[in-house]
Structure 1
């Protein structure tokens, strides 16, 4: 059995309250991962093009 299958079985066996808490934890964890990725991308310059686009739009009065 794979880890994913084990997790699926574990999640299915949760009570409604446990499932609600798990979902909340998972969403918070997922958003934290997303925030970290954005921070990393910003730090390494991968998002610099967005700043450039915004500056160009501002200069054009948009």
Structure 2
């Protein structure tokens, strides 16, 4: 059985209170990972590259109005 299958089985066996606590923990876990990724992308100037790519496509007429 894979780790994911083990986790799915364990989560399915949680009672309502445990599931709520797990859900809150997992949301916080994901938010922290997202924050670290944003910080990493910023430090590596990833946003600058994405901005430049978008501006290049805009100037080339490859965009459309929303």
Scaled by the length of structure 2, the TM-score of the pair is 0.72
Which consecutive unaligned segments of at least 5 residues does structure 1 have? 54-62
In structure 1, the residue matched to 2:9 is: 9
Scaled by the length of structure 1, the TM-score of the pair is 0.77
CA-atom RMSD, angstroms?
A: 1.4
Which consecutive unaligned segments of at least 5 residues does structure 2 have? 56-66
Kindly tell me the number of residue pairs found equivalent between the two proteins: 51
Which runs of 4 or more aligned residues in structure 1 lie more than 2 Å from their structure 2 counterparts after TM superposition? none
